[in-house]
Amino acid sequence: MSSETTNILVVEDEKVFAELVRDIVTDEGRGQYAVTVVADLATATAQLVAGRFDLVLLDLTLPDRQGLETYQAIHQSAPLVPVLVLSGVSDEEVALQALRAGAQDYLLKNEFDGRLLARAIRYAIERKAVETRLRESEEFFRLISENVTDLISVVDENGKRLYNSPSYQAVLGQGDELTGSNSFAEIHPEDLAVIQGVFREVVTTGKGQRAEYRFVRNDGAVRHVESQSSVIRDDTGTPRKVVVVSRDVTERLAAEKELRQALAEVKRAHEQLQAAQRKLVQSEKLEAVSTFAAGVAHEVKNPLQTVVLGIDYLRDYVVTNDANAADLLQQMSDAVKRADAIVQGLLEFSAYRKGAVSDQDLGQLFEQALASLESELTAQAIRVRADYATSLPRLRLDPRALKHVLINLLATEINGCPPGSEFYVRTYLRAPAAGPNGKSTVVAEIEARHPAAAEAAVIISEKPAGGTPDDFGIMVSRKIIELYGGKVECQRQRTKRRFTISFQT
C-alpha cells in the first residue's frame, strides 16, 4: 500500500450494489482508492488477515454470517481497520449496535450517494487513526502508571477520586475500588485539616504544591507520604482536576530516624570520650599537683630536721638557766611535730617515690606537658611555637615526675604572662665545654614573649618584691629536677621571661 492509495475492502453479497459501490468509490477517490470486493465473510476475513486494508465497507447480512456477529468477526480479524457499516432500513438497529461495538459509522443503503460515501470514508479513516493514536497513548500511560511505584492519583475539584494507580494497592491495601471515593478518607486525622487547606489552595490558585502527611490504612497501620500536586484545567482555564503524585516515605523516614539516632549515639559516644579525655587530663594535673606536693613535703622535711636538731642542741644549754627558754623550746618542738604531721599528710596524699627511671626524650615530655595544659593555653590566648631537636640524647628520668614538674613550671608561666603572649619552646644539645671531662648538655627552654612588649605596652614580668607562691612552686620543681641531676634557671625581665632546664649527658 502506497501512502497515497487507500485500500478499501467492500464486503457485499449483492453483486449489483457491490459494483455500484466500487464505481462510486473509484470515482470519488480520483485514483486514490483501490477497491477489492468480496461476497462472504470467510473470504473477507481471509483478505483482512492476509492483506492490509485501510477501510472495510461491510454489509451485515452475508450468506455465511448475519447481524452484529458479522461486524464482530471482521473486527477480530483486523482490530485496527475502521469499519463502515452498510445497512438496510430494516436492520438499522443492528447497525447502531455495531456502532457501539466499535464500527466507525453506518450508511443506509437507500440514502446513499457518492459524496456522502466519500466523506464517510475519509472521516472513518481519520477517526480510526486518531482513535488508534489515542489508544496507543492511553496504553502507554497506563503502562507507565501501572509500573511506577509512585502513587498516581487524579481527583476532581472536590477531592473525589477519578483514578488511582495500582501502586495504591501496596500502600493503602486498596486499588481499583478507590475510584469514586473521597480522597481525604484515609488521611490521618491530625493531618487532615492541613491537607484539605492545601488542596483548596491548589484548586483555587491552580498552582501545585508539595505536602507531607500520613495515611491510615484500614488495618490501622500508618504510612508517611510525600505528595506533589498539579492541576488539569478545562477549556475555560478553570482547574477541574488535580493530579497527585505521591511517594511512600515511611521506610525512608524510619531509616532517617535510625540514622539520626545512630548519629546522636555517635555524638554522645564522642562527647563521653571527650569527657573521659578531659577527666584524664584533669587527673594528670591532679597527679602533677601530687608530685608537686611530694616535692614540697620532701623539701620541708630537711629544714624541719635542722630545727629538730637545733632544738636538741640548744636544750642542754637553756634548760638549766632559763625556765622560759625551756618552755619555748618545747613549744618549738611541738610546732615542728605539727608541721611534720602536715607534711606527712602531703606525702601520704602524693605517695611520692622517686619513680622508675627510663630513657626519655625531653622534647616529648614537653609536648605531653603542653598537651595537658591545652585549655589553660587557650584561655590565656597563648600561642606555642615549638622547635624540638631530633635525636637528642635520651635522659634517665622518671617520665611521670618530670612531666608533672614541667606541667607545674608551664602552668606558672601561663598564669604569670599577660593574655596573647607567645611561648617559644625549644630543645637542643649544647656542646661540651672545653677540657677532657667536658660533657654535652641537653637543654630545654621556654621563653615567653608578648608582641606588644617591645613597645613597652605590656610588661611580661616584673621582678617580684618578695617570695610569691609561683616562686615557691619553681623552687620545688627545681629541687625535683635536681634529684635527677638537672638544673633549672629562671630569667625574668620586663619584656620576656625564660626558663632553662638542662641535664648533663
Partner 1 sequence: MTKKRILIVDDEPSITQLLRLNLEKTGQYTIRAQNDAEAVMGALQEFKPDLILLDVMMPGMDGGTLAGKIHATRAFKNVPIIFLTAAVRQEELDARNGVIGGFPYIAKPLNVKGVISIIEKYLPESVSA
Farthest CA pair distance, the chain: 174
- With beta carbons less than 8 A apart as the criterion, state whether 176 and 156 touch: no
| Residue with smaller CB distance to partner 1, 285 or 298 | 298
The phi and psi torsions of 38 (rounded to 5 degrees) equal -130, 160
Q: Determine if 338 is a binding residue for partner 1 (CB under 8 A).
A: no
Q: Which of residues 47-106 bind partner 1 (CB under 8 A)?
A: none
Stretch that binds partner 1, among 11-19, 293-301, 322-330, 424-432 (CB under 8 A): 293-301
Q: Report the nearest approach of partner 1 to the CB of residue 321 (Å).
A: 17
Span of 51-59, 298-306, 438-446, 464-472 interacting with partner 1 by CB under 8 A: 298-306
Return the number of the residue (79 or 393) whose C-beta is nearest partner 1: 393
Q: Tell me: does residue 482 bind partner 1 (CB under 8 A).
A: yes
Q: Which positions from 441 through 470 interact with partner 1, judged by CB under 8 A?
A: none
* Piece in contact with partner 1 (CB under 8 A), picked from 360-368, 385-393, 436-444, 480-488: 480-488
Cell readout for 449 is: 614573649
Site for partner 1 in 203-232 (CB under 8 A): none
Separation of alpha carbons 424 and 405, rounded Å? 18
Cβ distance to partner 1 smaller for residue 134 or 433: 433
392 neighbors 363 (Cβ within 8 angstroms): yes
Q: Are strands 441-449 and 496-504 parallel, antiparallel or unpaired?
A: antiparallel
Minimum CB separation of residue 422 from partner 1 in Å reads: 33
Region from 26-34, 142-150, 305-313, 430-438 binding partner 1, contact rule CB under 8 A:
305-313
Is 30 among the residues that bind partner 1 (CB under 8 A)?
A: no
Q: What is the CA radius of gyration of the chain?
A: 53
Task: State in angstroms the smallest separation of the CB of 502 from partner 1.
Answer: 13
Residue 304 in the binding site for partner 1 (CB under 8 A): yes
List helix spans (H) across 151-243.
Answer: 168-172, 189-205
Handedness of CA 202, 208, 213, 216 (dihedral sign): positive
Q: Is 302 in the site for partner 1 (CB under 8 A)?
A: yes
Q: Does 501 bind partner 1 (CB under 8 A)?
A: no
- Do the bridges between strand 395-397 and strand 383-388 make them parallel or antiparallel, or are there none, so unpaired? unpaired
Q: Does 340 bind partner 1 (CB under 8 A)?
A: yes
> Is the CB of 204 or the CB of 344 nearer to partner 1?
344
* Under rule CB under 8 A, residue 483 binds partner 1: yes
- Residue 344 in the binding site for partner 1 (CB under 8 A): yes
**Which residues contact residue 358 at a Cβ distance below 8 angstroms, ignoring those fewer than 6 apart?**
396, 397, 398, 399
Asked if 359 interacts with partner 1 (CB under 8 A), we say no
The whole-angstrom separation of Cα 406 and Cα 366 is: 7
Between residues 205 and 306, which has the closer beta carbon with respect to partner 1? 306
Binder among 312, 322, 334, 359 for partner 1 (CB under 8 A)? 312
What one-character-per-residue DSSP string does 83-150 give? EEEEE-GGGHHHHHHHHHHT--EEEEGGG--HHHHHHHHHHHHHHHHHHHHHHHHHHHHHHHHHH-SS
Shortest spacing between CB 467 and partner 1, in angstroms: 19
Own/partner long-range contacts of 277-286 (Cβ < 8 Å, ≥24 apart)? 281/372, 281/374, 281/375, 284/372, 284/403, 284/407, 285/372, 285/407
Q: Which is nearer to partner 1, 228 or 504 (CB)?
A: 504
Give 241 or 400: the residue with its C-beta nearer to partner 1: 400
- Cα angle vertex 33, ends 28, 39, to 5°? 100
Distance CA 229, CA 240 (A): 13
In the sheet that 422-430 helps form, which strands lie side by side, from edge to edge?
A: 383-388, 422-430, 441-449, 496-504, 486-492
CB of 331 to partner 1, least distance (A): 15
Q: Does 42 sit near partner 1 (CB under 8 A)?
A: no
Q: Is 475 in the site for partner 1 (CB under 8 A)?
A: no
Under the binding rule (CB under 8 A), the answer on residue 330 touching partner 1 is: no
Binding region for partner 1 (CB under 8 A) out of 60-68, 208-216, 302-310, 422-430: 302-310
Told to check if 244 binds partner 1 by CB under 8 A, we report no
Rounded to the nearest whole angstrom, what is the least distance from the CB of residue 294 to partner 1 in the complex? 8
- Minimum distance between the CB of residue 482 and partner 1, rounded to whole angstroms? 4
Question: How far apart are the C-alpha atoms of 489 and 475, rounded to whole Å?
Answer: 10
Determine if 347 is a binding residue for partner 1 (CB under 8 A): yes
- Bridge partners for 36 per DSSP: 9
Least distance from C-beta 349 to partner 1, angstroms? 12
Is the CB of 279 or the CB of 354 nearer to partner 1?
A: 354
Cell reading at 416: 604569670
Give the residue from 168, 212, 181 showing the smallest Cα distance to 194: 212
Would you tell me which residues interact with partner 1 (CB under 8 A)? 294, 297-298, 301-313, 316, 333, 336, 340, 344, 347-348, 352-354, 482-483, 485
